[in-house]
Structure 1
Amino acid sequence: MGLFEDFSRFLETRLEEFLRNNPHLELQALEEQLREQEEEALRLMADLRLKEKQAQDNILATAQEIQRWHERIGKAKTAGRWDLVKPAEEREAALLREGNQRWGQMQVLKERMKQTEELQRKIQARRQEVRAKAVEAEAARASANANASAKTEPSWQTIGWNQSNTYLHNSADPLEAQFKRWEMDEELDQLKRNMGR
């Protein structure tokens, strides 16, 4: 077990180090975590809505049952069936207690729903903040990469003009490969953004 724990700790340390060195990835991981929390909040809200609907249906059924027993009490009194009046009043009182309990449960559900909606809004706002920071970090990283490559590479205006065009027909064109990698990275980033919505 110690070897597994050591290896696990090593991986966590390496992951933390990697994320520190690549803050844009840390922001993406945080955004993904917030997205999952938001989805969980939405699932909880749907579950609470269903429970609230069931509670309302139960309250309505109990109210109808109370009304039925109230009418029976009246009929029993009118007919002089005193042997039925007392048990019917006890049944009505039990249904009233049950109705009050169900009403209380529904109020608790409504309060939980309100809290969950507020939590979902906060998570959504935080996720948007993280997404904006991730976009800023990505832009800063792209700008830094562009500045670094501009300093290390000679001007594009003279390179193409002074070189022969043998690479134009060569399938191992390094510029073509570089553009394909860049375009694939762009498509991958776009897919990630689309999946994050």
Structure 2
Amino acid sequence: MGLFEDLSRFLETRLDEFLKANPHLELWGLEDQLRGQEQDAIRLLGDLKRREKQLEDSILATAQDIQRWHSRIQQAQAANRIDLVKAAQEREATLLRQGNQYWGQLKGVKDQIMQTRTLQKDIHDRRRELKAKIAETQAQRTAQRTTTSWDTGWAKTSFDGFGRDPMDPLEESFQRWETEQELEELKRTMGK
């Protein structure tokens, strides 16, 4: 395992060095990571909303069951059926406990929904800030490349039909020198 760990550390180090040399790539990686986190938060929010709806439906169904059993308790008491009253009261108590559990779960889900919405908004805001930083970094790199290309005389704007840049000072110098050489040759030839 030592070889794999060494290789892994080496690759991580090289990746860190590469990202430090190319910070825009690191920003893109962070933006990609934030996009994934935002999508996860949105999925979680959808799951929580579905769970909230299920719990609300369960609470409603339990409340209806409680009403039905409460009515049965009253009917059994009116008929003096004590054996049914006691069993119906136990069922009603079980349903009340179950309803309270659903209610507690619903409260927890609602809290999670609020927290997830806050988290999703925070991630969205961070992504927006990061996108602005990426755009700023790209603009700086473009300006830097343009400045560098003009400073070194290697403007990459337009080319003639032969793949040469007519604005290239080095190309211009060679063409001038070659023309001078041809003129000198012509003068020598004509002078003979």
- Name the structure 2 match of 1:137: 137
SS in 2 for 1:80: coil
Equivalence for 1:15: 15
Contact 2:66 2:96 in 1 (8 A): yes
Structure 1's consecutive aligned runs of 4 or more residues displaced over 2 angstroms after TM superposition are none
Partner of 1:188: none
State the partner residue of 1:74: 74
- Deviation string 1:12-67 (CA, Å, 9 cap, x unpaired) is 11111111111111111110010011111111111111111111111111111101
- Letter matched to residue 4 of structure 1: F
Structure-to-structure mapping, 1:83-102, within 5 angstroms: 83-102=83-102
The match for 1:124 is 124
Aligned to 1:53: 53
Q: CA deviation at 1:174?
A: 5.3
- Bigger-Rg structure (1/2): 2
CA offsets per residue over residues 81-122 of structure 1, 9 Å max, x none? 222112111111111111011100110011011101100000
**Secondary structure in 1 matching 2:19:** helix
RCO greater where, 1 or 2, for CA within 8 Å and sep 6 or more? 1
Q: Distance in 2 between matches of 1:152 and 1:68?
A: 88
Contact 2:146–2:155 under 8 Å retained in 1 = no
Distance 1:91 1:145, change over 3 A: same
Q: d(CA) in 1 for partners of 2:40 and 2:33?
A: 11
User: What SS does the aligned partner of 1:135 have?
Assistant: helix
Q: Provide the TM-score with structure 1 as the length reference.
A: 0.78
Q: 1:110-146, CA deviations, whole angstroms, 9 ceiling, x for partnerless residues?
A: 1011101100000010011111001100100100000
Q: Distance in 2 between matches of 1:141 and 1:56?
A: 54
SS class of match (1:153): coil
Consecutive unaligned residues of structure 2, counting only runs of 5 or more, are 166-192
Alignment-mate amino acid for residue 81 of structure 1: R
Q: 1:138 to 1:155 in 2, by over 3 A?
A: closer
State the number of aligned residues: 164
Counterparts of 1:177-196 in structure 2, within 5 Å, are none
- Deviation at residue 154 of structure 1 after TM alignment: 7.1
AA matched with 1:116: T
Higher helix share: 1
Q: Aligned residues: percent identity?
A: 54
CA distance, structure 2, for counterparts of residue 56 and residue 9 of structure 1: 51
